[in-house]
Amino acid sequence: MNPLCCIAPVSLDSAVEHHHQPPRILAAAAAAPTSPTPPAAAGAAVAAQVVLDAAQAAVAGVLHKWLRVGGGGDSAASPAVAARVIGEGGALRRAREEAAAAGKQWKPFGEIHLKVSSIRASKSDDKRLYIFSGTKTLHLRCETEEDRNAWIQALQVAKDRFPRSLTSNDFSPMSDVLLSTEKLRVRLLQEGLNETVVKECESIMMTELLELHNQMKSQQQQYSILIDRLRQLETEKVELERTVVHETKEREAHGYANGRYSGGSASESDPDTASQVADVETDEDEVMYFDTRDFLSAESLRSASCRRRELLTNGCNGLEHIDPAANVVKTTQYPSVKRRDKLPEPKEKENPVGLWSIIKENIGKDLSGVCLPVYFNEPLSSLQKCFEDLEYSYLVDHALQWGKQGDSLMRTLHVAAFAVSGYASTEGRQCKPFNPLLGETYEADYPDKGLRFFSEKVSHHPMIVACHCEGRGWKFWGDSNLKGKFWGRSIQLDPIGVLTLQFDDGETFQWSKVTTSIYNIIIGKIYCDHYGTMRIKGSGDYSCKLKFKEQSIIDRNPHQVHGFVQDNRTGQKVAMLIGKWDEAMYYVLGDPSAKPKGYDPMSEAVLLWERDKSLNQTRYNLSPFAISLNELTPNLAKKLPPTDSRLRPDQRHLENGEYEMANAEKLRLEQLQRQARRLQEKGWQPRWFSKDDDDSYRYIGGYWEAREKGNWDGIPDIFGQRSASPGWS
């Protein structure tokens, strides 16, 4: 337990006032101590009551609760209930007597609804039990094991008596109204109107009244439907909160185990653990965050960089010797290639999806094994998403040129900017990529970027994607085992794998991606965040450490990235990196922390990379580069192997807005994919990659040569309908 907590007996009352009210626990204020307590503990024994219903006697007794020192409540009276006493009745009486002598009365200061709570007995202590409410955990202790069992039984009985919610069936139907025009008829005749006019007036009135009556009946039906829907949502919310209780605790435990939280406290996923968990590693002493000022906004960063470049252009004295950017590297010229700049117009209207019914059964599961409707996907596969990380490959080209000029520091800075730039396209993307089939591949031949890329799904369980890219003077490769879990309100994605960038002169950089979480899955605007530490290890003179700051609820400046470049020989910081993963990255040479007080590092900030802001207004928020990834022309289709993602029918149908066909194809392919595990267990091996000595996958070559010859012998038609591929776009 947290050392700031102590054991203090408290009162728990639960009353069911009538059969429509769910059972609840009310925690009341404590009185003076009734027995010696440990030096670190304080508090007193007070009453606890659970009233089952009007037909059954209540139970009462003494329970002890872990609570913060200094807690308490106001005085007030609680209802007196005749109850069966669990445990020692004298302790209960003494608690009330001492409270009365101290001038204190029992007043509830909080409540826990049992219907959304989970009750569990401790495995290590036969006197302890826990109540998880979804927002807090009550750690309770009884006097004996028999008392604990009696309390658990009483609480469970009260919990199970939650009544059925009202639905539209509980409302009596609106009876037909009897309408009469007799009084109107008499009055009109008194005015001297003839029979024809009177009948016409009666007809007009009856028509209007009947229309009003029908409108009222329609409104009542809509109201009943709305009530039904609200009750359904309420029930699903209760079930979800009840299910999320344990998974929320597991997520917190996962965070502790990975050193994400400092100031150790016990992991609540295991209430029997009372030891502190120390933070494995902290980077706060190495990375500066400038949250007290707003100069990390895009405008201020951009203006600072512009001022800096103006000074350099004007030849300001004292700056040239500290800024290598004054010597601009030669930009590599590549041929222009025309690619599509928009997705096809949808052919069907998208149908709504019952999100609750889908996700509530998958809380805490590995996302790679969860089958979701096609509406949750974007028309790209994970293989194509790997190539999307190379959208700003010109940064690697610049790094190559800086190295040729003998400037290893500027090379390292550009590699760091490239590692960050891969996250820029994730902003605003709310749909997941398609999970590739075993053996599925993707190629990207982009002469306009001076590179060609190839990726393959090399393992089904665990799901691993391997990729290899060749640029002009460098190579990039890696594999990724992305583990994802759904936590009720968010999805956490933890990448496993190493990315390697190697230049032709032999210098190598390696790093791993940081954690990604997607929030507000149930309610609110969906958004993603990337957080954690990225270490870019260089084989030459310098390495880099970047800290992606986790976004808080009240964060005015989200998506911040800060870091330092360090000398591998001395460990000295030689440059600072500042920016945001969805906007831009800047560098400042030297160690700003060693500067005199009042020094503003932004006065010397220089722009390294800036995100391409041109976005197409599509449902998927794809960048122009991402839109080009799934483009398929008849000429290209003739050259591709039958395993390429662009030939995947459900993905193509989704891109074309043919949602029903996309769903049907996705179900068909998932049936085929269920055979993948058996294939892998029988010794299936990837075609274009193999494991090396460090258990990672490396490209073995041969793909582009086979493509040149059009020789795809032995390559399976994993999609099952090469001849029936959807139309080109």
Query: Helix, strand or coil for residue 144?
Result: coil
pLDDT at 391: 96
Q: How far apart are CA 368 and CA 435, in angstroms?
A: 7
Quick one: CA dihedral 576, 582, 583, 584, positive or negative?
positive
| Statement: residue 723 has pLDDT above 60 | no
639: which 2 tokens?
């050259």
pLDDT at 43: 35
pLDDT digits (tens, 9 = 90+) for 602-633: 788 999 999 987 765 677 889 999 999 999 99
* pLDDT average, residue stretch 166-188: 65
Q: Name which residue leads in pLDDT, 70 or 658.
A: 658
* pLDDT average, residue stretch 65-85: 46
Question: CATH fold of 114-163, please?
Answer: PH-domain like (2.30.29)
Q: How far apart are CA 471 and CA 448, in angstroms?
A: 11
Q: H or E segment at 475? A: strand 474-486
Q: How confident is the model at residue 213 (pLDDT cuts 50, 70, 90)?
A: confident
- Contacts of residue 213, Cβ cutoff 8 Å, sequence gap at least 6: 176, 177, 179
| Burial (Cβ within 10 Å: 0-12, 13-18, ≥19) of residue 345 | exposed
- Give the start-to-end residue ranges of the domains of the chain: 114-163, 181-240, 377-647+683-709
CA distances from 463 to 22, 57, 429, 641, 680 (A): 44, 56, 22, 21, 12
Average pLDDT of the chain is 74
Q: How far apart are CA 139 and CA 119, in angstroms?
A: 11
pLDDT at 569: 94
Range picked from 278-282, 533-537, 690-694 for highest mean pLDDT: 533-537
Q: How far apart are CA 439 and CA 718, in angstroms?
A: 8
The residues pairing with 68 across neighbouring beta strands, listed in sequence order, are: 5
Locate tokens 């891109």: which residue?
655
* pLDDT average, residue stretch 209-214: 84
Contact 583, 298 (CB under 8 A): yes
**Is 2.40.160.120 the CATH classification of the domain at 377-647+683-709?**
yes
pTM of full prediction above 0.85: no
Quick one: CA dihedral 109, 114, 116, 122, positive or negative?
positive
| Statement: residue 453 has pLDDT above 60 | yes
pLDDT at 309: 47
pLDDT at 74: 33
pLDDT digits (tens, 9 = 90+) for 650-685: 999 999 999 999 999 998 998 887 777 777 778 889
pLDDT digits (tens, 9 = 90+) for 268-314: 333 443 333 233 344 434 444 443 334 454 455 555 445 444 444 44
pLDDT at 354: 55
Q: Name which residue leads in pLDDT, 248 or 696.
A: 696
| Statement: residue 389 has pLDDT above 70 | yes
pLDDT at 77: 33
pLDDT at 561: 95
pLDDT at 8: 34
Alpha helices in 611-697 (DSSP H): 624-629, 634-637, 649-655, 659-673, 676-681
CA distances from 505 to 37, 176, 408, 451, 727 (A): 71, 89, 12, 18, 45
Per mean pLDDT, which range of 239-248, 256-265, 425-434, 579-588 is the poorest?
256-265
Q: Name which residue leads in pLDDT, 695 or 389.
A: 389
Per mean pLDDT, which range of 54-68, 90-104, 658-672 is the poorest?
54-68
Task: Say how many CA atoms lie within 13 Å of 465 toward its Cβ.
Answer: 24
pLDDT digits (tens, 9 = 90+) for 181-197: 888 888 888 888 888 88
- Cis geometry, peptide bond prior to residue 22 (ω within 30 degrees of 0): no
Contact 565, 548 (CB under 8 A): no
Q: What does the DSSP assignment read for 158-174? A: HHHTPPPPP-GGGSPPP
Q: How far apart are CA 644 and CA 632, in angstroms?
A: 11
Q: How confident is the model at residue 363 (pLDDT cuts 50, 70, 90)?
A: low
| Statement: residue 514 has pLDDT above 50 | yes
Q: How far apart are CA 193 and CA 195, in angstroms?
A: 7
Q: Name which residue leads in pLDDT, 134 or 326.
A: 134
* pLDDT average, residue stretch 643-651: 96
pLDDT at 57: 58
Residue 532 CB: number of other CB atoms within 10 A? Answer: 19
pLDDT at 603: 80
Range picked from 86-95, 136-145, 282-291, 636-645 for highest mean pLDDT: 636-645
Strands 377-381 and 432-434: parallel
Contact 478, 501 (CB under 8 A): no
Q: How confident is the model at residue 601 (pLDDT cuts 50, 70, 90)?
A: confident
Q: Name which residue leads in pLDDT, 645 or 148.
A: 645
| Statement: residue 383 has pLDDT above 70 | yes
Q: Give the N- to C-terminal CA distance of the chain in Å, as an integer.
A: 61
Asked whether this chain's domains 114-163 and 377-647+683-709 adopt the same fold, the reply is: no
> What is the share, in percent, of the chain residues with pLDDT greater than 90?
33
pLDDT at 557: 83
Query: Helix, strand or coil for residue 542?
Result: strand
